[in-house]
Chains A and B, each alone.
Chain A
Amino acid sequence: MSLNKTLNKMPIWCLYIIGLCPFFIILYLLFNFKLGVDPLKVLEHELGQWGLKFLILTLFVTPLRSFFNINLLKYRRTLGLLAFIYISLHLSTWLFLDLQLRWDEIIKSIIKRPFITIGMLGFLLMIPLAVTSNNISIRLLGRRWKILHKLVYIVIFAGALHYLLLVKSWPLEPIIYMFVVLFLILLRIFKKTKILSNFK
């Protein structure tokens, strides 16, 4: 299909540059004092949210192919790695700039506060995924690679839940993220159970 040919023309490094644009924009705003009164919170929040956005984008790749015949498989690994970059930056911001390596408070927070426990769990589960996001690992792990990478569903759910549990009251944004994540996960469950097999 020619659409897919055109879509797949873009080299991977281009996607890295596009994907890191939000980060550079945030840095630009930061250095120009345009992140508001509390730039740290904005930085922390934006990095986390972009991480979640890229995670969600990886989940769009398969349904786009199944339902609309748009093949972006080539870019999925990059989207996942971009998510990992953003979430690592998000976590570093929290550890170094927000909590400033007050380890007693950090450890207590991870143990006691569900939204941090869940966020941390999501991050830890991402590490093996990021480490094995290369051709050598796929070859070495064989079928186990596919099983290992199913972890991504837990990671994404953890990410959306982390956001939802963090906020006071019920603002719209984290609810929308959770809704999209649940939709994309349910889509796969339905497909597995053949409910949607007619649509293929």
Chain B
Amino acid sequence: MYINKYREKDITSEKIFLNRRQLFALAGGFGAFALMPGKSFAINKDTRKSNTFEEITNYNNFYEFGVGKSDPAKYAERLTTEPWSIAIDGLVDNPGIYKIDEITNDMPIEKRIYRFRCVEGWSMVIPWNGFQLSHLLNKVGVKDQAKYVSFETLYRPEEMYMQKTKILKWPYKEGLRLDEAMHPLTILATGVYDKPLPKQNGAPIRLVVPWKYGFKSIKSIVRISLVENEPQSSWNMQNKREYGFYSNVNPNVDHPRWSQASERYIGKNIGGGLGGLFAERHDTSMFNGYDEVSGLYKDMDLSIFF
């Protein structure tokens, strides 16, 4: 399928790894990154391996469970994910409160290996399991007036203790334009590494939009609304100047407090020794390398609609 930027058959070039290894051995690193068992793939000219399950599940921004990257792994255990249902409402033909199984049972679950770029300037590669959001939207029937999709995370302060604070407006909200939501790259993920989605990663179901900064990919969704006007989103409400509605990965539009021109690949598979300490910094690609979405923004000035 064209959708997977990273194909399992595109095996990482051993030569590139060796060069890098030699380079960073000089830089004082051990140069001994273990060649992890796992799948290799390529994106454009770049080669990159998936982050480990361990890394993906211990380095999360999920502010409902704390602002530290390791907080969600510690505190998300408190979250009750069964039973779980999602309200699908607004401009749809079949609104209602759907049990999670009703939604996922007849969806074709696929593996999607996506690059994940955080607005903070780091990135990972994550093998998600999930289904295209478009399948679900088609199933419930989108009315003609609908132009946007709005998403909401669970609000349950007893279990998500940070919701008792005001660091963000709760519940966490995100939104997409309808064509973005219908794009085949946009998925609802229910798993990672063929395992059910861990709680710190947004169990039981989360959005993944690989060409946008990570915070757009809202976790633990309980509401999906089809609406006519641009919906609110939490980080945009917190700081309009820093977080736009679109938030497409774009090396030419800097976040006011940090450059988006480049990024650090994190994780031990990256090489460079000492858990990636000496790993090379890389130029960030427009749309995170997913050029096939550029058509969605053809006539838009992305420095204004950032």
A residues contacting B by CB (< 8 A) are: 30-31, 33, 35-41, 43, 97-100, 102, 105, 108-109, 112-115, 165-171
Contact = CB atoms under 8 A, between A and B. Distances in A.
A36 B58 contact: yes
Given A37-B275, A40-B264, 12 more contacts: A30-B274, A30-B275, A30-B277, A37-B54, A37-B55, A37-B266, A37-B267, A38-B276, A39-B277, A40-B276, A100-B281, A169-B167
Contacts of A113: 256-258
> Chain B binding site: helix, strand, loop or mixed by DSSP?
loop
Contacts, number: 70
10 contacts: A30-B275, A33-B268, A37-B54, A37-B59, A37-B275, A39-B276, A97-B277, A105-B259, A165-B257, A168-B67
A105 B262 contact: yes
B257 A38 contact: no
B36 to A, nearest CB: 14
B70 interface: yes
A38 B274 contact: no
A114 B255 CA distance: 12
Interface of B: 54-55, 58-59, 63, 67, 69-70, 120, 122, 167-168, 238, 254, 256-259, 261-262, 264, 266-268, 274-278, 280-281
Nearest to A38: B266
Nearest to A114: B257
Given A36-B59, A37-B266, A166 B257 contact: yes
B274 to A, nearest CB: 6
Contacts of B258: 109, 113
In the complex, the 8 A-B pairs of residues with the closest C-beta atoms, listed nearest first: A37-B59, A169-B167, A171-B67, A39-B275, A38-B266, A37-B55, A100-B281, A105-B259
A38 B277 CA distance: 8
Given A35-B275, A37-B69, A39-B277, A170 B167 contact: yes
Given A169-B238, A171-B167, A112 B254 contact: yes
B122 A38 contact: yes
Contacts of A38: 59, 69, 122, 264, 266, 276
Contacts of B67: 167-169, 171
A40 B277 CA distance: 5
A35 B54 CA distance: 13
